Amino acid sequence: MKVTDEIQHIRCPFQRPGYFTGVTAILGDAITLVDTGIAASPLEAIVPYLHEAKRGVDEITSIVLTHTHYDHLGGVPALAAASDAQILVHELGIPRLLDLAAQTSFDPARVTSVTHGETLQLSGHTVEVWHTPGHAADSICLMVRALRLCISGDSIQGLGENRPLLFYSSLAYTNSMQRLAREPLDLLVMGHSFPRSDQGVVRGQAVPLILQESIQAVDHLKDQVVHALQAAGRPLSLRDLSQRLPTVREPSLTPILHDLAVEGRLRQLGTGPETLWLG
């Protein structure tokens, strides 16, 4: 799917029919890929898409990962074997990527870390790295200011469908959304079919809307947790709380609980697996 003439969005099948992991291809004098889908994605989707565009996988010189979850880095070994690409990831994602290199066959010397504010030259485009933790600690967005475009991976998730899915911090997620909302953006290229992005691309006036809805989604999740604890009238374990909130994705509960405790909206009783939470 064309986003611009050179920046294109490849939908890689994932989990269920109609759902996908989005891989962004920058088709300049060389090729940059942003994310790689799961292990099967190069063969199933990425290489066929490049062939349709009359480009070769051997033209890939850079692979940038928006974060190191398996559905975004799974295709790295196959693509590294078929090209001389350097693999760029936020410095917090380096251990996970080096672990993948040790388990497979690509050279860890091809892995390079990036940091917030760093400017990259990728396939003829100037791209700025933004660290946007929340979904993951190592989540980044890539800002192409000349096009008012952001490649966001899973950093922006919108409101609805039990979003956002958090593995790191709701406070960091909200902060990331607020920083992005202050930027003049006309295009978002996303990592999945999040709400407002059935095709994985958000344009025009929908861009500030999905950022504001992403902030609202965190507030909604926090309110659900607080209300459930107050309704229980007694301390609850993580398992008890998860059973009372079947529509909330369980990985999100741990960061939500810890952040609510920081905000003083609930109390943490004990530590470790026996921790209880009181509203």
pLDDT tens digits, 220-251: 999 999 999 999 999 999 999 999 999 999 99
The single residue listed with the structure tokens 């800002």 is 143
- 148 lies in the same domain as 45: yes
Q: Kindly state whether residue 186 falls inside one of the protein's structural domains.
A: no
SS3 257: helix
- 146 lies in the same domain as 35: yes
- 17 lies in the same domain as 149: yes
Q: Kindly state whether residue 182 falls inside one of the protein's structural domains.
A: no
Q: Kindly state whether residue 269 falls inside one of the protein's structural domains.
A: yes
The CATH number given to whatever domain includes residue 235 is 1.10.10.10
pLDDT score at 26? 98
pLDDT exceeds 90 at position 196: no
- 69 lies in the same domain as 148: yes
Q: Kindly state whether residue 252 falls inside one of the protein's structural domains.
A: yes
Alpha-carbon distance of 188 to 200, in angstroms, equals 8
- 138 lies in the same domain as 239: no
Name the domain boundary from 99, 127, 155: 155
- 135 lies in the same domain as 17: yes
Total domains present in the chain: 2
For residues 139-163, average pLDDT: 96
**Tally of CB atoms within 10 A around 63:** 25
For residues 151-156, average pLDDT: 98
The pLDDT-based confidence of 7 (bands split at 50, 70, 90) is: very high
For residues 55-73, average pLDDT: 98
- 149 lies in the same domain as 228: no
For residues 247-269, average pLDDT: 95
- Look at residues 251, 86, 63 and name the one whose alpha carbon lies nearest to residue 151: 63
- 231 lies in the same domain as 96: no
pLDDT tens digits, 124-142: 999 999 999 999 999 999 9
For residues 195-224, average pLDDT: 94
What does the DSSP 8-state code read for residue 279?
-
pLDDT exceeds 90 at position 272: no
- 17 lies in the same domain as 103: yes
Alpha-carbon distance of 32 to 60, in angstroms, equals 6
For residues 243-260, average pLDDT: 95
- Look at residues 3, 119, 134, 4 and name the one whose alpha carbon lies nearest to residue 64: 119
Q: Kindly state whether residue 2 falls inside one of the protein's structural domains.
A: no
Q: Kindly state whether residue 166 falls inside one of the protein's structural domains.
A: no
For residues 91-113, average pLDDT: 95
pLDDT exceeds 90 at position 15: no
Name the domain boundary from 124, 155, 186: 155
* 253 contacts 241 by C-beta, under 8 angstroms: yes
Alpha-carbon distance of 134 to 198, in angstroms, equals 22
For residues 273-279, average pLDDT: 92
Which residues are CB-neighbours of 52 under 8 A, at least 6 positions away?
none
- 240 lies in the same domain as 145: no
The pLDDT-based confidence of 202 (bands split at 50, 70, 90) is: very high
The pLDDT-based confidence of 264 (bands split at 50, 70, 90) is: very high
**Residue ranges making up the domain that contains 136:** 7-155
The CATH number given to whatever domain includes residue 42 is 3.60.15.10
The pLDDT-based confidence of 265 (bands split at 50, 70, 90) is: very high
- CA angle (238 as vertex; 232, 241 as ends), nearest 5: 35
Name the domain boundary from 155, 175, 190: 155
For residues 65-87, average pLDDT: 97
- Mean pLDDT over the full length of the chain: 96
pLDDT exceeds 90 at position 273: no
Q: Kindly state whether residue 149 falls inside one of the protein's structural domains.
A: yes
For residues 30-54, average pLDDT: 97
Alpha-carbon distance of 41 to 278, in angstroms, equals 44
Q: Kindly state whether residue 141 falls inside one of the protein's structural domains.
A: yes
Instruction: Please count the residues of the chain.
Output: 279
The pLDDT-based confidence of 161 (bands split at 50, 70, 90) is: confident
For residues 36-63, average pLDDT: 97
pTM of whole model > 0.85?
yes
